[in-house]
Amino acid sequence: MSSLGFSVGTCSPPSEQRKCRSFVSSSLTKAEAINLRSQQKVSDHELSFVQPASCGRREAIIGFGFCIGLVDKVSAFAETSSCEFSVSPSGLAFCDKVVGYGPAAVKGQLIKAHYIGKLENGKVFDSSYNRGKPLTFRIGVGEVIKGWDQGIIGSDGVPAMLTGGKRTLKIPPELAYGDRGAGCKGGSCLIPPASVLLFDIEFIGKA
DSSP state of 11: P
Q: Which of 150, 113, 108, 149 is nearest to 129 (CA)?
A: 113
Kindly name the residue from 115, 116, 152, 171 that is annotated as catalytic: 115
Burial of 178 (0-12, 13-18, 19+ CB in 10 A): buried
199 is catalytic: yes
What gap in Å lies between CA 146 and CA 129, rounded to an integer?
A: 22
- Told to judge if 177 belongs to the known catalytic residues of this protein, a careful annotator would answer yes
In the set 125, 137, 153, 203, the catalytic residue is 125
In the chain the first and final C-alpha atoms are separated, in Å, by 11
CB-based burial label for 67 (10 Å; 0-12, 13-18, 19+): middle
From 139, 145, 171, 201, the catalytic residue = 145
Query: How far apart are alpha carbons 106 and 153 in whole angstroms?
Result: 7
Which residue out of 6, 64, 177, 203 is catalytically annotated? 177
Given 6, 23, 64, 199, the catalytic residue? 199
8-state DSSP, 133: S
> Is 85 in the active site?
no
Q: Where in the sequence numbering do the catalytic residues fall?
A: 115, 125-126, 145, 177, 199
